[in-house]
Amino acid sequence: MLQPHHIATVQATLPLLESAGPALTEHFYARMFRDNPELKDVFNLAHQTSGAQPVALFNAILAYARHLNNPAVLSQAVERIAQKHTGFLIRPEQYSIVGHHLLETIRELAPDAATPEVLKAWELAYGQLAQIFIGREAEIYDQAANADGGWRGTRRFRLASKTRETDLITSFEFEPLDGAPVSLFKPGQYLTLSISHPSLAQHEYRQYSLSDAPNGCSYRISVKREAVPVPGEVSTYLHNELQVGDEIDLLPPAGDFYLDVTRDTPVVLLSGGVGLTPMLSMFNSLAEADHSAPVYYLHGCENGRQHAFAEHVAALCASHESLHSFSWYQAPLTSDIADQDYQASGLMDLAPLRAAIERDNTEYYFCGPLPFMQAIHRQLKAWGVADSRLHYELFGPHQAL
């Protein structure tokens, strides 16, 4: 049982962890993958290479240690991580593996400070956190299994259609092999693909935002072919190898980022590049529900060749009085027509639209590359928009804006 003196001991080691920085979690991952290579099939190794995952874990460890007296403060972060974990089929017994490597990392990087008292305190603190996650993840697994059309673990699907939306983005629609219904999802949530293929070095799990309104019959994702700084293994497989009729294992929809509004709530959806995928699911859902309050779909991309679903969005706006769209092209082509294909050039500047999109009860949802979301966040905060009305999704490990 974690006692006050254990909490005090853990928190006394925080300056040591802060001085180690993300090197601590880099060491942790290195030793874990060395001794438990089977976990390479669970973790996204691309995030290890980029350094994003070690930084995210380091920040999470510090945040948890600071709030040991009141872990409920971290409920939002716990929910986000638990949702992600169920998308990788994380099992309770794997927490003991992670805990072992965390304690050994502290012992190896700080041998002078790693006294039996310190290690015991961290063991109990980690054990408390593990139980929080294990309990919440069990609930998520049960909810997914008990939902109408739901299931536990993986379920076999067939690629029903593959549609090239732009030079870089392709949509994939999956139907269940058993022909039974599939569970509904909340617009904004993601789907997890479980993939084994000779072109891939490891078994891979990848989570992609669902890009259409729920229909109870099929799921659609829209995936960008990743090429910078190196080609993405899974996106390359999907674009080049996966063909209509091929089978694939899917996990139930999940995620803590989703549309949550009433019919009379004004909504602003903002996206950059392939960040449009969860926004499109929300936009389509609002259109289907004949949302009564104004909805603005704001999108920024490179040019017309990269503007996915432009005609679809325009058609929805034309047929629904409450729906509006506005687009920015960073570098318009000579074939792109101003005020027809796009309304402004350069980066997304919300100032000209402020009178239309700023209301006291407007909810803002945004997704895209990190610099894009940071810029949107700065603009909305400068207007005085409360954090409670700002909702965002970052593809990959979460970061604060």
CA proximity to 323, closest of 283, 359, 357, 352: 283
Complete domains list, the chain, with CATH? 4-146 (1.10.490.10), 155-254 (2.40.30.10), 267-393 (3.40.50.80)
- Distance CA(197)–CA(247), nearest Å, equals 12
The pLDDT of residue 166: 95
8-state DSSP, 338: B
Confidence tier at 72 by pLDDT (50, 70, 90): confident
Taking only the tens place, the pLDDT of each residue in 143-166 is: 999 999 999 999 999 999 999 999
Taking only the tens place, the pLDDT of each residue in 295-310 is: 999 999 999 999 999 9
Which residues are annotated as part of the binding site for heme b?
A: 85
Which is more confident, 44 or 370? Answer: 370
Is the Cα torsion angle 238, 241, 242, 244 positive or negative in sign? positive
What proportion of the chain, given as a percentage, has pLDDT over 70?
A: 95
The pLDDT of residue 92: 94
Q: Are 270 and 244 in contact (CB under 8 A)?
A: no
CA proximity to 52, closest of 366, 313, 400, 399: 399
Contacts of 100 (CB under 8 A, 6+ apart): none
- Active-site residue 165, yes or no? no
The yes-or-no verdict on residue 221 having pLDDT over 60 is yes
The pLDDT of residue 400: 65
- Active-site residue 137, yes or no? yes
Q: Is 236 exposed, middle or buried (0-12, 13-18, 19+ CB in 10 A)?
A: middle
Which is more confident, 366 or 15? Answer: 366
The yes-or-no verdict on residue 320 having pLDDT over 80 is yes
Taking only the tens place, the pLDDT of each residue in 261-276 is: 999 999 999 999 999 9
Q: Are 281 and 213 in contact (CB under 8 A)?
A: yes
DSSP conformation letters of 107-134: HHH-TTT--HHHHHHHHHHHHHHHHHHH
Q: Which of 26, 137, 165, 173 is catalytic?
A: 137
The pLDDT of residue 45: 59
Taking only the tens place, the pLDDT of each residue in 348-393 is: 999 999 999 999 999 999 999 999 999 999 999 999 999 999 999 8
Q: Which of 29, 64, 95, 141 is catalytic?
A: 95
Confidence tier at 60 by pLDDT (50, 70, 90): confident
Taking only the tens place, the pLDDT of each residue in 96-107 is: 998 999 899 989
The yes-or-no verdict on residue 109 having pLDDT over 90 is no
Which is more confident, 22 or 28? Answer: 28
- Distance CA(124)–CA(153), nearest Å, equals 30
